[in-house]
Amino acid sequence: MSKDDQDVLATFGAADSRIDIDLGAIAHNWIYLDSKSSKNTRTAAMVKANGYGLGANDVGGALYKTGCRQFFVANLGEAISFRSHMDTINATDSQIMVLHGCQRGQEHDMRVYRLTPVLNDLEQLSRWRLFAQNANETMPALLHLDTGMTRLGFDPDQTDWLIENKQALNNLDITYVMSHLISGEITNGSANNVQKARFDEYHSFFAGMKASLANSGGIFLDTDFHYQMTRPGIAIYGVHPCGKDYALQQTDGLKPTVAWHARIIQVQNAPAGAMVGYGGTHKLTRPSRIATVGIGYADGYHRSLGSKAYVNILGHRAPVIGRVSMDSITVDVTDMPRNIMQKAETVALLSDLYSIEDMADDASTIPYEILTGLSQRANRRYADYL
């Protein structure tokens, strides 16, 4: 067994896979993204979906140490969990913003846990304002204006009404007016300029309020898109929003943040003509050596990766063959040097030889889905940077 494999296996524990999360790389990525804006622009962090699958508490704590003070989550449940953790590490001045807004019956918890709802329509606005009036307090909020996504945010009719009835914002401290880019990752996309023009028009009616438009992709557009706050998500976690080819052009840019390893459970010899896996979808054309690896779709390893993906065995790529099972995959190691297989105890599913972008391409999906789909069966190891 190699020293690298010994180090990996030592932290597997009772699990058959392990996910390494580099908090130093996450901190580096946030600093890099922050450096792309002026000092008048704050860089927030998306930690929704449990920090894109990597652990919101650990990620949030590392980013707070790095200087981040503004965080976005999707819903109240995520927000309460994240606030509770941030308070335990004395990060009490964090602003935690809830993208889905304040739903009916959530007003009390929003206030108790010091959360800032992103108000998406007049119903949410009216409910939050009424709660503020009854509490005789001024409540924080963001206004989300839809400029083309047609997903969340005040639609054009509601925005027009609000412009004419700004008294509806009484008792509210609107910290930002925001919108969301449809295709910020397309650096020469005309849709970005159309949205920006619409956003600027809307924003002009809310003089004095700060603005936010740029997601990860928007940060790589002209700085006119940055306003007073950017909201990176996937870029913090090491994936360039404009794609792998664009990322390769950046010499000082984003760093990968995650590696994924799994045990080799068994290696067996198989004759030519043998079928591999469910349905016998892969037929061996030669005498082969097949490694069974303890990872499957129950771990978040996509079924569509069967007979497409590769793993890294001590610096050598080997193909995944046959169907992906619930708890295992099969890998053809016939061409692997014999001395390598004598030492190998694990494979790397994500590595410098097979990136998350490669995996997403082979699975016909996006890196977001790979990250957020990682199950809790794996042991997680965090490399701290402090």
DSSP type of residue 310:
E
* SS3 state at 191: helix
Q: What are phi and psi of 237, to 5 degrees?
A: -95, 15
Q: How many helices (H) and strands (E) does the chain have?
A: 14, 19
Please give the Cα distance from 300 to 327 (Å, whole number): 10
Q: Give yes or no: 48 in active site.
A: yes
Q: What's the CA gap between 304 and 86, in Å, rounded?
A: 38
Q: For this structure, is 39 an active site residue?
A: no
Q: Which of 3, 36, 39, 48 is catalytic?
A: 48
**288 CB contacts (<8 Å, ≥6 apart)?**
269, 270, 272, 274, 332, 334
CA 141 to chain centre: 24
Instruction: Please state, in angstroms and rounded to a whole number, the distance separating the CA atoms of residues 142 and 102.
Output: 11
Cβ atoms of residues 239 and 206 within 8 Å: no
Catalytic residue, from 52, 166, 237, 278: name it: 278
First and final C-alpha spacing in the chain? 31
CB neighbours of 293 closer than 8 A, spacing ≥ 6?
262, 263, 264, 265, 311, 328, 329, 330, 331, 347
Token match 């307090």: residue? 137
In the three-class reduction of DSSP (H, G, I as helix; E, B as strand; rest coil), residue 170 is classed as: coil
Q: How far apart are the C-alpha atoms of 154 and 12, rounded to whole Å?
A: 48
**What is the spatial distance between Cα 212 and Cα 66, in angstroms, rounded to a whole number?**
21
- Closest among 230, 239, 233 to 257, alpha carbons compared: 239
Which amino acid does the sequence have at 165? N
Residues assigned a catalytic role: 48, 278
